[in-house]
Amino acid sequence: QAHLDRIAAVDGDVHAYLHVNAAALEAAAAADARRAAGDGVHPLTGVPIAIKDVLCTIDMPSTAGSKILEGWVPPYDATTVARVRAAGMVPLGKTNMDEFAMGSSTEYSAWGPTHNPWDLERIPGGSGGGSAAAVAAFEAPIALGSDTGGSIRQPGAVTGTVGVKPTYGGVSRYGAIALASSLDQVGPVTRTVLDAGLLHDVIGGHDPRDSTSIPDAWPSFAEAARAGTREGSVKGLRIGVVEEMSREEQGFQPGVLQRFRESLELLERQGAELVEVNAPHFRYAIAAYYLILPAEASSNLAKFDSVRFGMRVTPPGGGTVEEVMAATREAGFGPEVKRRVILGTYALSAGYYDAYYGSAQKVRTLIQRDFGSAFERCDVLATPSAPTTAFKIGEKVDDPLAMYLNDLTTIPANLAGVPGISLPSGLAPEDGLPVGIQFMAPARQDARLYTVGAALE
Ligand code: GLN
C-alpha cells in the first residue's frame, strides 16, 4: 500500500509506470498469508517489484513501449516474472522504456518520457529508465530490467541505483520481447548490491525454454554480496582499469572520472590491486553493435505483422495483406524503430552482408579476445558506467549518433556475453548528479561483481 501511495503521489511527475497492477494488494495478502504459515518463504517474499514492460505478464498489458502492442496482454508470463511470483514477490506494475528497448533515455517510448527523480528535466537513462526511476523515486524497492547494450546499467548510473547485466545465458530470456537475441539479458535494478544478489538468485538458473540458457548450477549471489561486506574481501583482487575508457578526451565528463578514480582508491585501500589493461578494440564496439543489433532486431520485429499481435491498420477501401502490414507498421512503429529496421535489413541484404554484418561479427570476436587477454591479468575490469551524468530531456533525441555514444562503456560486455554491474560512485561535483562505476567479470563469474560491488558500497 505504501508503494501504491507513493506511485499515486509522484508518478504524475516521474512517469515511471505504464501500468499499475490492480491486483497488487491481493498478491500482497497472499504473501502475508504465506509468511504467516512459514510456507516456502524467501527473503523477498512479500516484497513489491516493478517490471519492465518488455517482459510478458499474463495479467497486465505488455507493450515494450510500442504503440504496435497497445493493450496486448500476453497468454503467458516470462520465466523471470513467473519466478518472482513463485518467490512470493508482488508485481506493482509495468515500467516505461524506449520502444522495443531501443534507446538510452526513455524518450523513444511511444507513451512519453520518464523523468529522472534527481531532476525532472533530465533523462533517467534508457532503455529501462522506468525501472530505474521507479527504484530511485521509492516507487518500488526493486525492479526487473533488460540489458542489450546497457539498458540496465546506464539507467542505474544516471539515477544512482544498482543494475546488473548477468552473464549471457545466466537468466532466461523466455517471455522477454526480443530486441537482439544474441545480446539480450534480463537482470536486477535495485538500491543495494545485496538486493540485486537476492533478486538474481530468484530469477537466474537454467530454463529449458531458453535454448541459450546455461544448464550449470550457480553460486548464491546474495552470499557473494554478503561476503563483499566482510573485512579483507577484496584483498589481492586484481582490478583492471581499462585504459581506453579512463580519460577526458575519450568523451568522459571530468566529474565522472574523478568519482571513478576515488572509488578505485577506496578499493585499493581495502587491499585490491589496480592494474592498467588495454582493450584496443573497444573503440569499435559501438560501430559493431549498431550493425549487429539492427540486423537482429529487423528479424525479431518482423513478427509484428498486423496478424499475430496487437494493432491492425486497414487502409481505406481494404487493401492487400502487404498493404495492411505496411500501414500497420507505418502507424505502429516510432522513428527510431523504423531507422533500425531499415539499417538492419540493409546490413543483412545479400550484396552487403560481408561488408557490414560480416565485418561487425569479426569485430565482435576481436572484442571478445580483448576481454580474454585482459582477464589473464586481472579478476575484474572497471570503467565508468556511462560517459556523463543525466543529460536534459530533448538534448539528444533528434541526434541518433549522440544518443548511441552513451553506450560506449556498456556495449562491450553485451558483445562478449560477460556480466557487468553498475553501482553508485557518488555525485559529480560539477552538477550534483549521480555517477556510476561499472565492473565486468569473465563469463559465469558474476559472483565477483557482487563481492567487489558490496565491498565498495
Ligand atoms: N542504448 C542501447 C540501444 O539503444 C541499449 C539498448 C538496450 O540495452 N536495450 O540499443
Within a domain: residue 83?
Answer: yes
pLDDT digits (tens, 9 = 90+) for 404-430: 999 999 999 999 999 999 999 999 999
Does the predicted model carry a pTM greater than 0.80?
yes
Whether 168 has a pLDDT exceeding 90, the answer reads yes
User: 239 with 277: CB under 8 angstroms?
Assistant: no
Instruction: Say what the pLDDT of residue 309 is.
Output: 83
Ligand 1 pocket test target in 95, 100, 102 with most atoms within 8 Å of CB: 102
Q: How far apart are CA 443 and CA 380, in angstroms?
A: 11
| Grid cell locating 406 | 552513451
Ligand 1 pocket test target in 131, 164, 185, 293 with most atoms within 8 Å of CB: 293
Within a domain: residue 121?
Answer: yes
Q: How far apart are CA 305 and CA 322, in angstroms?
A: 9
Within a domain: residue 182?
Answer: yes
C-beta of 127 in contact with ligand 1 (< 6 A): yes
Within a domain: residue 158?
Answer: yes
pLDDT digits (tens, 9 = 90+) for 254-307: 999 999 999 999 999 999 999 999 999 999 999 999 999 999 999 999 999 999
**Which atom belonging to ligand 1 lies closest to the Cα atom of 104?**
1
Q: How far apart are CA 402 and CA 239, in angstroms?
A: 30
Weakest mean pLDDT among 50-54, 125-129, 149-153, 313-317? 313-317
C-beta of 106 in contact with ligand 1 (< 6 A): no
C-beta of 139 in contact with ligand 1 (< 6 A): no
Q: Which of 151, 213, 233, 425 is catalytic?
A: 151
Within a domain: residue 41?
Answer: yes
Domain boundaries, position 218: 2-228
Distance (Å) of CA 281 to CA 284, 353, 381: 6, 21, 15
**Residue 187, SS3?**
strand
Whether 310 has a pLDDT exceeding 90, the answer reads no
Within a domain: residue 184?
Answer: yes
Own/partner pairs for 135-138, CB < 8 Å, 24+ apart? 135/50, 135/159, 135/161, 135/189, 135/190, 135/191, 136/160, 136/161, 137/6, 137/10, 137/14, 137/16, 138/3, 138/6
- Is 127 an active-site residue? yes
User: 11 with 17: CB under 8 angstroms?
Assistant: yes
Element (H, E) at 4: helix 2-14
CA of 237 to the centre of ligand 1 (A): 31
C-beta of 151 in contact with ligand 1 (< 6 A): yes
pLDDT digits (tens, 9 = 90+) for 241-255: 999 999 999 899 999
- Is 181 an active-site residue? no
User: 387 with 428: CB under 8 angstroms?
Assistant: no
Q: How far apart are CA 143 and CA 65, in angstroms?
A: 17
Q: Give me the number of domains the chain comprises.
A: 1
| Grid cell locating 285 | 564496439
Element (H, E) at 253: none
Within a domain: residue 397?
Answer: no
Q: How far apart are CA 240 and CA 383, in angstroms?
A: 9
Which are the contacts of 93, defined by CB distance < 8 A and separation ≥ 6? 7, 17, 18, 19, 20, 21, 24, 50, 51, 60
Q: Whose CA is nearest to atom 4 of ligand 1?
A: 103
Instruction: Give the amino acid at 248.
Output: E
CA of 300 to the centre of ligand 1 (A): 15
DSSP characters for 46-69? T-EEEEETTB--TTS---TT-GGG
- Is 213 an active-site residue? no
Distance (Å) of CA 324 to CA 304, 310, 332, 334: 12, 13, 12, 17
C-beta of 407 in contact with ligand 1 (< 6 A): yes
Q: How far apart are CA 91 and CA 7, in angstroms?
A: 13
* Segment 365-387 mean pLDDT: 98
Q: Which of 62, 104, 105, 127 is catalytic?
A: 127
Distance (Å) of CA 272 to CA 10, 121, 173, 275, 379: 41, 38, 34, 10, 10
CA of 64 to the centre of ligand 1 (A): 13
Within a domain: residue 21?
Answer: yes
CATH of the domain at 28: 3.90.1300.10
